[in-house]
Structure 1
Amino acid sequence: MEICTKCGNPKIVIRRKQSGQALCQDCFVESIQKKAIKTIKKEKLLEKGDKVLVALSGGKDSVTLLDILDTFRQRNIIDLCAVTVDEGIGGYRQDGVAIAINHAKRLGIEHKVVSFEESYGITLDEIMNRPNHRGSCTYCGVFRRWIINRVAREFGASKIATGHNLDDETQAILMNYLEGNIDNLTKIGPITDSKSPLFTPKIKPLREIPEKEIGLYAIARELEVHFAGCPYSQESFRGEIGEIIKNLSKDHPTIMYSTLSGFDKIKKALKKEYKSEFEFERCSICGEPSSNKVCRACTFLEELDKKVIL
């Protein structure tokens, strides 16, 4: 009979192919928390007194992130606040927003829900119904970042924490390499900083934890979570890359770990060789930081005959 590698408990909840570990529920939960804390300490993601804005969608990644960061809040190391972005995806986003609100209320932290519609006068569903659109992820990523960065300044947050997991990071590495987007490759990492003081640094405490283990953690901790996937995700290039990595991982269970580890080793050399010449100024339309006269969010909105609602 197989028993927990750590404590000998016969009730196993996970067998890790990459390490050969078999863990019971308590040992598994502890291992995830320790892994995230190890990343936070190793990469110096948090400092005492930080006010951290969690990008809280209500999904497994962001709810798990909030749960782990709350242990730091309970020890009076950091303060927490949260923002939930409602992209306007019918039949999908409403449940996640409700769950995010519940978690913020449960913890008693500042929380704000901001929609694409109130910010830009258009929903993602409406964008995707238009001909010749750029694809859901292109708009969503740019518009979400614009909102989250602005709310971070409103809350006076010193860090923005996102629930990017190991799958997300390896997908981003492969996507940007295949597209030849070296500038984006140099920005992938545990902490994303900027030359502009108008950008709040972003941290990724879960970047070394696989997506499936984050889902299992949420179940083991009995956290209220919105498990449904974005209906547009499978149509995206990221979705295609995700399927490729998932299939590779069946016979090569360490592939995501080695991809991330290898990339982290060459990133310093990559940044040194490829120095961005961008100088950040303010977008002439919305006033947000931009490397061009008009930021990407406003560029996309101009194409859609919309503009930021200030």
Structure 2
Amino acid sequence: MNLCTKCGATPVIVKRKASGQMLCKACFIESTTEKVLKGIRRNKLIEKGDKVAVALSGGKDSVMVLDILHSLYERNIIDLIAITIDEGIEGYRKHGVEIAAKNAQKLGIDHRIVSIKDYFGKTLDEIMADESREHGACTYCGVFRRWIINKIAREEGATKIATGHNLDDETQAILMNYLEGNIDNLTRIGAKSEPKNDKFTVKIKPLREIPEKEIGLYVVARELDVHFDECPYSRESFRGEVGRFVKELSVNHPTIMYSTLKGFDKIKPAIKKEFGGKKSSMGVCIKCGEPASHDLCRACLFSKKINKEE
């Protein structure tokens, strides 16, 4: 019979292939929570007095972020607010929004729910139904979500935006940007963003070193209410292809994601030194007033095209 390597209890609920560690439910929750909090301290993601806006989709990653950061909120180290975006995906998004609201209410956290249609006139489904569109769902969704979350975070006086990016996500981002030759994006990957404009709120990734499987196990072990469904558009993306490739590699090479992340973090300073741009005095979008490199920010440019404005 397998025994927990930390306390000797049974049953064991996880065996970490990368380390060989076997943990019971209580020790797994404790060790995972401590790993996240230790990463927050090591990377200086949060300071006392921060107001953190959690991008809360209702999925396992963002619910886990809210759950762990709530422990800092209870100790009066930080203030918390949750932001949920309804992208407008039929048969998928409604349940996630409901779950997000339930989690925020349970923890007594202020919660704002907004939709892409509120700001940009169309749901994601409506955008994708237009055959004249120029991009895939993930491109529109990513641009619009970032614009909305940054705007609301600033309106709410948030000093940090916490997202649920996990180890799998970071590994995928590193590989896909390298394969696409997108060096500019590579210089921005990390535990904490370094905005090029003061109107951008700093983004942090508390779960950056936690594998997706362990996040799923954590929310089940903690009996958290979570929306587990996969976005119907995600499998169409290049990220989805890279993700499936990494998962296949991980079967026989369980440490591959950790080594990819750690290796990248070691070479990032050299990449940033060679290719990283300096903090710029970007202009503002003539339509929305958000930071922009041109007359229109990318979100307003997309909005103009999908709404066929002159």
TM range (shorter): over 0.9
Residue 282 of structure 2: which of 280, 283, 290 is its match?
Answer: 280
- 1:280 CA displacement: 1.5
What RMSD over aligned residues (CA atoms) do the two structures have, in Å? 1.1
- 1:303 CA displacement: 1.9
Query: Secondary structure of 1:2's partner?
Result: coil
Deviations 1:252-278 (A, max 9, x none): 000000000011111111111003265
- 1:108 CA displacement: 1.5
- 1:212 CA displacement: 0.7
- 1:291 CA displacement: 2.1
Would you say how many aligned residue pairs link Structure 1 and Structure 2?
307
- 1:91 CA displacement: 0.5
Contact 1:121 1:306 in 2 (8 A): no
Residue 295 of structure 2: which of 278, 293, 301 is its match?
Answer: 293
Contact 1:163 1:206 in 2 (8 A): yes
TM-score (norm 1): 0.97
Contact 1:53 1:161 in 2 (8 A): yes
Match for residue 237 of structure 2? 236
Relative to structure 1, the CA distance from residue 96 to residue 200 in structure 2 (aligned partners, 3 Å threshold; closer, same or farther) is same
- 1:131 CA displacement: 1.3
Deviations 1:18-45 (A, max 9, x none): 1101110001001110110111001000
Q: Which range moved further: 170-179 or 282-291? A: 282-291
Distance 1:304 1:121 in 2: 9
Which consecutive unaligned segments of at least 5 residues does structure 2 have?
none
Deviations 1:64-113 (A, max 9, x none): 00000000001110000010000000000001100111111112221100
Match for residue 245 of structure 1? 246
Match for residue 76 of structure 1? 76
Paired letter, 1:284: I
Distance 1:164 1:89 in 2: 21
Which consecutive unaligned segments of at least 5 residues does structure 1 have?
none
Contact 1:193 1:199 in 2 (8 A): no
Contact 2:187 2:276 in 1 (8 A): no
TM-score (norm 2): 0.97
Match for residue 196 of structure 2? 195
Query: Secondary structure of 2:33's partner?
Result: helix
Distance 1:216 1:64 in 2: 11
Identical pairs, percent: 64
Match for residue 136 of structure 2? 135
Contact 1:176 1:185 in 2 (8 A): yes
Deviations 1:152-209 (A, max 9, x none): 0111000000000000000011111111111111111000121311100000010000
